[in-house]
Structures are given as C-alpha cells and as structure tokens.
Amino acid sequence: MTQTKPTQRTAADLTTTELLTAYAAGELSPVEATQAALDRIDQLNPTVNAYCLVDAERALAQARQSEKRWHRKQPAGKLDGIPVSIKDIFLTRGWPTLRGSRTINPDQPWTEDAPAVARLREHNAILIGKTTTPELAWKGVTDSPLTGITRNPWDPTRTAGGSSGGAAAAVALGMAPLAIGTDGGGSVRIPAAFCGITTIKPTYGRIPHYPASPYGTLAHAGPMTTTVTETALLLDVLSEPDHRDWSALPPPTHPHLDTLENGVRGMRIALSLDLGYATTHPDIAHAVTRAAHTLEQLGATVEQPDLHLDDPVEDFHILWFSGAAKSCQHLTPEQIQQLDPGLQHIRQQGLTYSAQDYLEATNTRMKLGQRMGAFHQKWDLLLTPTVPIPAFQAGHEVPPGSPSPRWTSWTPLTYPFNMTQQPAASIPCGTTQDGLPIGLQIIGPRHSDARVLQAARALEKAQPWQRPQLNPKPTSHA
C-alpha cells in the first residue's frame, strides 16, 4: 500500500457544500479551488491515470468568471465555481470524446454537449477535463489500448474498477469533488466501491442521456462524489429535462435534497449478502452486516429474508454483448483489429445472437423486474455488498486465476439492477483487513431514488468516511 499519514486539508479536499459555503463567505474563491484541483491532478494523476484530458486554461477562465459572480454576490446556478470531471463517454463541446478507443478520430468538430454536460454548464460548474474509461465502456475495470491502466487510489497495484474508474479515482483523490459517469452493469457502483466514494445509479430515465447508448436501456448516467449530500445535489442538477432523450422521466416533484435528512426510522429493510447465488468475501460480509445493524439502530426494521434469485448473467450477456456488437458496427476490419482483445471477443459473440435470443433475454429481464417489484411490496430497501470481492490486481479483467474470463463473474450483484432499472447507490461501509474500501449497495424500487439516498445519508452520518492519502510516486501504466 502506498499511503501516507493524513495531511492538512487543502481546497482540493473540500466537499461541494464546503466550497459553496466558503465562496459565499469570501473565504475562498473558485479560482483557488480550481487551481487546487489542477495541482492535485499534476501531483497524483501520473500515479493513478484518472484523467485522459485536462484543460487547465479553460477551467481557470471559467473559474475567473465564477469568481466575479461570487464577488458581486450573484452566483448563477447550483454548482457555480465547483470543479467537475467528465467521463470520456459524454459528448463535450470543444473536447474530443474518444471513449478510450484508437478507432475514433480526435480531429473532427466537437460541437455538442451530452445532456449531463449541458446541465453542468448551465449551473456554471468548472469543467476540468475528461476521465478515463475502458474502450467503449465495455467492462468493469478501467484500462484501454488508448489510455492505459487506471489504478486504485488506496493501492495503485489494484484496479480502480470500471467502467467509470477514472471518475472514481479522481473524486477519491480530490482531483475535483464531483464527477459524472455511466453505468450499464455496475459502472459507477463498482469503482465507487473499490475507490471508497459515493454514487447512485438512479432509476432509468431519471438523468436524460444522449446519444442513446448502444447498450440500450441498461445504460444509466450517474453522479459520483465523496458525500451523499453532494450526490443528491448533483442528481438534482442532472435530472433536469432534455428533449433529446425520448425515454427520460419528468423532473422529480421535489429536490432529492429535501428529504435527505429524514432518516430511516420505520423503514423495512432487507439484507442479502449473495442474492442467492454469489459468494462474498468474509471481510465484506462482515462490513455490510455491520452497516445493516447500524441502520437498525437508527430505527429501521432489518431482516435477512430468503432471497433466492437465479443469476441472470447469461441473459445479461446477450443484451450486453449485442450492444458491444452494435457499438462496433461502423468499424472497418482493420479498426476491429485495434480494439481491446476482450471487446473483440464479446463483439464477435454478440453477432451470433438472433432477435429471438434478444427477446428471450428481454423476457427474463421483465420477469426479474416483476419479481423485484413484488419483493418491494414488503421491503422498502434491499442491502447487498456492491461488489463481493476486494479490488484486485490492476490491468486484468478478472482476478488472476479466475476460471471465468469475463468481468461479470466477479460483480454479480450490480448488473441485475440495470436489468430491472431500479435505483442503486453505493456508499463506503468499511475496509478489508488489507485496508481496501468496501461498498454497501442500497437498492430501492423504481422511482424511489430519494428514499435510497435518505438511507445512504443516515448511514453516512453514523459511519463517517475518510479519503485515501496517496504517496505521489509515479507508477508505470504499462
């Protein structure tokens, strides 16, 4: 482990709420906060490889404009002056969106913002740069032929998870307090658990998304932060409407922040360490069970019912691998040979499925959604580990020695809730004996995003969390 003893906090370590309070009091300026984030990137990005693009000049220009507004006591937007990173999957005006792929030409006009990026601009967030992703966001770890390996802030020999691994590492290390990621099978929750940050994959459609993902309605956008309050605030911003997503939900009736402090008293919460088919590391089982007991002490009713689901992984593969084939359909044979070998493999497998196969997988998905809908008639929330194993060696899709070649083999508790479109948060709940973060997954019925965040906030207050302290010694990205 390459950690150091905690040092004095700087502007890069402040939460969004702390930054906004300091701006209002005149104790700190957006320029200082942005420069602190840029300095932290210069210091630590060579070790973890979280950013693939940093635009310091443009970020500081935005920060100076924000500083003027705060000096006039006329901030504009909920995030005025807050540094934020963009996963390199979202279209971003003025920056190339390469999606971790050598097959995309950066030398072309980049004139459009994805909905999430547009909302950030409207609320005057400071766009720092773009974070790393595996090629076309296809797997649960972050490495690509274009940008190399992204590493874990707690131990750079380990993976940061994925596919939003760059975003998670950046947030964990104070390279900007906020990030936006995507999640088609766990891709904000997996790296949040491995890097010790907070996130939510909201109900499908809660955050408008454009262009439509080749993975269809499995894919969600999600906020990634260090605290539940920041997650709720960013979700409120990202949930604002955008006409380009025909499947988007209407904006929430009330801000998610409104009910965040209501606690869990009276909630009926179920705990499952395995969903009936997974195997969970003992350290993780212990931490998740302890978190459940904490919620019980806060007034919830917590039980461990028999929840014996069938692992839907084969049907998820049909949906996911078909999406991979779709994402590569425009490539030439020469470009296909440039792809990540694992992506080449699932693309080829995706081409073998028929429309009937896809519809059968969709039918399994619908039945799982009905099963969970019935489950939530009794239970307000479901708790599971986010990922049942600790972060493993960086640069591998699966833990070395694993009998399965695919990432879904070690994250069996995340992708089912993309299939059902339920909101699912991940919040840190402890560390393993080796000092690696453990994530608690909090799942609610569809449209219960506020309830999920409410429980996450109650646990966060009862079990405070600290960021990692990383020794900034460069680690090879080879």
Out of 85, 163, 272, 322, which one is annotated catalytic?
Answer: 163
Cβ-contact 280, 388 below 8 angstroms: yes
Out of 87, 130, 139, 201, which one is annotated catalytic?
Answer: 87
Q: Is 187 a known active-site residue?
A: yes
Expressed in angstroms, the distance from the first to the final Cα of the chain is 19
| Amino acid, single-letter form, for residue 428 | P
Pairing of strands 220-225, 198-201: antiparallel
Alpha-carbon distance values, 460 to 232, 289, 295 (Å) = 13, 15, 10
Out of 187, 239, 322, 327, which one is annotated catalytic?
Answer: 187
Q: Is 354 a known active-site residue?
A: no
Distance CA 165, CA 150 (A): 7
What's the gap between Cα 406 and its chain centre?
A: 20
DSSP assignment of 272-334 equals -SSTTT----HHHHHHHHHHHHHHHHTT-EEE-----PPP-HHHHHHHHHHHHHHHTTT--HH
What's the gap between Cα 478 and its chain centre?
A: 24
Distance CA 436, CA 438 (A): 7
Q: Is 5 a known active-site residue?
A: no
Pairing of strands 155-159, 424-431: unpaired
Catalytic site positions? 87, 163, 187
